[in-house]
Amino acid sequence: MASVEQAGDDACNRTGHNETGATWADADDLEILSWHGYLDTAIRAYHALNRTLHTAHALSLLDVILLDFLMRSPDGAARMGDLAQAVVLMPGRVTQQVRRLEGQGLLRRIASERDKRSVLAQITPAGRARMRLALRTYAGWVRIHYLDPLSRRQVTAIGDSCRRISTALRESGMPTGR
C-alpha cells in the first residue's frame, strides 16, 4: 500500500486517475489523502493492538471485542446472531470464534431459557478474570496510541465522523461481515 504522501503525490494525477486506471470520480487530492490516511491508520492500529493483546493475554482483538460484548450483556450472555452483528462477522465465523474461546474456558454455550432452539454464548468467571486484565492493556494502548496524540477537539471530530460513517453503512444494508 502506498503511503499517504505517495497517494497524494504519485498515485493520482489531476484527473483523479491512478496508475492502475481506476478513478476516484469526483474525489480531490485532500479527499484521497484523507481516505488513505484513515485506511493506513485503521489497519496499523488494528494489527498493533491485536499483536499487543495476543502477546500479553493470548487473546486477539476480535476475542476482546466479543468477550467485552458478553460482559456488558445481561447475564453475560448473548445469542449467536447478536454476537455476529456486534463483532461484524458472518455467523459461521462467530461460531468458530466461540468454539475456540469455549475451548479455552473463557465462555460456554448454553440453551436459551426463552427459546430452547436458540444457543447463547455466555462468558465464564475465567473469561471475566482474563478480560479484566486484557481490558487494562486495551485501554492503555488506546490512551497511548489514539487519545494522547490528539486534542480533545480532534478526538471528538474523529468520533463524530466515524459514528456518522458507521451509521450510514449499517442503514444502507451493506453486508459488513467477514
Give per-residue pLDDT as tens, 15-74.
445 555 567 778 888 999 999 999 999 999 999 999 999 999 999 999 999 999 999 998
Name the burial class of residue 65, with classes exposed (0-12), middle (13-18) and buried (19+) by CB atoms within 10 angstroms of its CB.
middle
Same domain, residue pair 85 and 153: yes
Same domain, residue pair 9 and 87: no
Same domain, residue pair 25 and 76: no
Q: Which residue pairs, CB below 8 angstroms and at least 24 apart, start in 57-60?
A: 57/130, 57/133, 57/134, 57/137, 59/130, 59/134
Same domain, residue pair 78 and 108: yes
Same domain, residue pair 92 and 176: yes
Which region holds residue 140: left if phi is over 0, alpha if psi is between -120 and 50, else beta?
Answer: alpha
Grid coordinates of 88:
461484524
Same domain, residue pair 65 and 23: no
Share of the chain above pLDDT 70, in %: 85
Same domain, residue pair 115 and 67: yes
Degrees to nearest 5, angle at CA 26 with 24 and 31: 70
CA 48 to chain centroid:
13
Q: Which of 28, 57, 86 is the last residue of a domain?
A: 57
Give per-residue pLDDT as tens, 82-135.
899 888 888 889 999 999 999 999 999 998 888 877 889 999 999 999 999 999
Q: How confident is the model at residue 5 (pLDDT cuts 50, 70, 90)?
A: very low
Distance CA 53, CA 47 (A): 10
Q: Which of 39, 57, 75 is the last residue of a domain?
A: 57
For 26, the domain range is: 1-57
Same domain, residue pair 38 and 112: no
Domain CATH for 158: 1.10.10.10
pLDDT of residue 117: 78
Same domain, residue pair 18 and 87: no
Same domain, residue pair 150 and 69: yes
Distance CA 83, CA 101 (A): 13
Same domain, residue pair 53 and 72: no
Same domain, residue pair 123 and 140: yes
Contact residues for 49 (Cβ-Cβ < 8 A; gap 6+): 61, 138, 141, 142, 145
Give per-residue pLDDT as tens, 140-158.
999 999 999 999 999 999 9
Distance CA 167, CA 39 (A): 18
pLDDT of residue 9: 47
pLDDT of residue 170: 84
Count of domains observed in the chain: 2
pLDDT of residue 18: 53
Distance CA 21, CA 42 (A): 25
Q: How confident is the model at residue 174 (pLDDT cuts 50, 70, 90)?
A: low
